[in-house]
């Protein structure tokens, strides 16, 4: 398979997407008392892979959502909005970072929702 130079330019764009992360399969076999911390690490890893940035920042509301039912009873699936943004700090190692926030769940539930690109309001 031949990869063209266009894939590098795509990783440089500032973009926002919504994903459904299946935490159930990512936490299968995990010790009860480590489930919520592991869920945060898995969301971080998912965002790293999806956006191609090593600097991933998790929103406080997302953290509260994961921990809302305690350390053991993590939600099976969660809808997240991942935004790749420019780093304003001059001292930063990378020019882009990813911000992961919780997205609102529609009335129909999470079934059938795919990845959606969100147009920025700015």
Residue 11, pLDDT > 70, answer no
Beta-carbon count within 10 A of 9 CB = 9
Alpha carbon distances (Å) from 53 to 5, 39, 72: 18, 19, 29
- What does the pLDDT look like over 43-68, one tens digit per residue? 999 999 999 999 999 999 999 999 99
Determine contact, residues 13/76, Cβ cutoff 8 Å: no
If 0-12 CB within 10 Å is exposed, 13-18 middle and 19+ buried, where does residue 22 land?
A: middle
- What does the pLDDT look like over 15-43, one tens digit per residue? 999 999 999 999 999 999 999 999 999 99
| Helix ranges restricted to H, the chain | 6-12, 23-26, 35-51, 60-67
Query: Average pLDDT for residues 87-103, to the nearest whole number?
Result: 88
Average pLDDT of the chain? Answer: 88
Residue (of 103, 100, 117) closest to 13 by Cα position: 117
Quick one: pLDDT band at residue 120, thresholds 50, 70, 90? Answer: low
């Amino acid at each position: 398979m031949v990869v063209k130079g266009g894939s590098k330019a795509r990783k440089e764009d500032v973009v926002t997407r919504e994903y459904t992360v299946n935490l159930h399969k990512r936490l299968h076999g995990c010790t009860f008392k480590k489930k919520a911390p592991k869920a945060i690490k898995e969301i971080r890893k998912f965002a790293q892979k999806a956006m191609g940035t090593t600097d991933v920042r998790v929103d406080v509301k997302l953290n509260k959502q994961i921990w809302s039912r305690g350390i053991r009873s993590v939600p099976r699936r969660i809808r997240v909005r991942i935004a790749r943004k420019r780093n304003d700090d001059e001292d930063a190692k990378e020019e882009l970072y990813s911000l992961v926030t919780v997205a609102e769940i529609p009335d129909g539930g999470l079934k059938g929702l795919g990845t959606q690109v969100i147009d920025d309001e700015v």
